[in-house]
Structure 1
Amino acid sequence: MFEHRQHEMERLMKEDEDFLRIFNRHQELDKRVTAAETGTAPMEDLALTQLKKEKLWAKDQLARMMDSQSA
């Protein structure tokens, strides 16, 4: 995620507690979505859809935070 902005992301993780919290939540959701999709942690389709929406929300928040820092 955001490979082309790695340095900026690392800086924000050190300096911004909210950014770090959202980043960690995104990572947690990513693991849960992957586990559900590979079948290691089966879940209902509706629950998986909700996880994906929350993961996308977190990614969007991170992108907005990075954009506002670089502006």
Structure 2
Amino acid sequence: MFEQDEEIVESLLDNNKNFRRLYNKHCQLKSKVKEANEGSVMIDNLYLEELKKEKLYIKDRLSVIIEDYRHTHT
């Protein structure tokens, strides 16, 4: 996730509590979705779709924060 913005992500993780909280939540959701898709964890399809939607929503919020950072630090 956000490999092309690795330096920005590192800076935000160090300096932005909201970004760090969202990033950690996204990582947790990503792990849950992966486990469900691999069959490691049994999750109801409806619940899995909700997890995916929440993960995408958080990723979009992270992208906005990264874009704002890019505009204010260049």
Give TM-score scaled by structure 1 length: 0.98
**Which residue does 1:25 correspond to in 2?**
25
The corresponding residue for 1:65 is 65
Structure 1: state its 5+ residue gaps. none
SS at match of 2:41: coil
- Corresponding residue number in structure 2 for 1:51: 51
Deviation at 1:68, TM superposition (A): 0.7
Give, as a single letter, the amino acid of the residue that structure 2 aligns with 1:33: V
Equivalences, count: 71
Corresponding residue of 1:34: 34
Distance (whole Å) between structure 2 residues aligned to residue 27 and residue 2 of structure 1 = 12
Q: Which amino acid in structure 2 is aligned with residue 16 of structure 1?
A: N
Deviations 1:14-61 (A, max 9, x none): 000000000000000000000100011011110000000000011000
Identity score, percent:
34
Unmatched segments (≥5 aa) in structure 2 = none
1:9 maps onto 2:9 in alignment: yes
| Ranges of 4+ aligned residues in structure 1 off by more than 3 Å | none
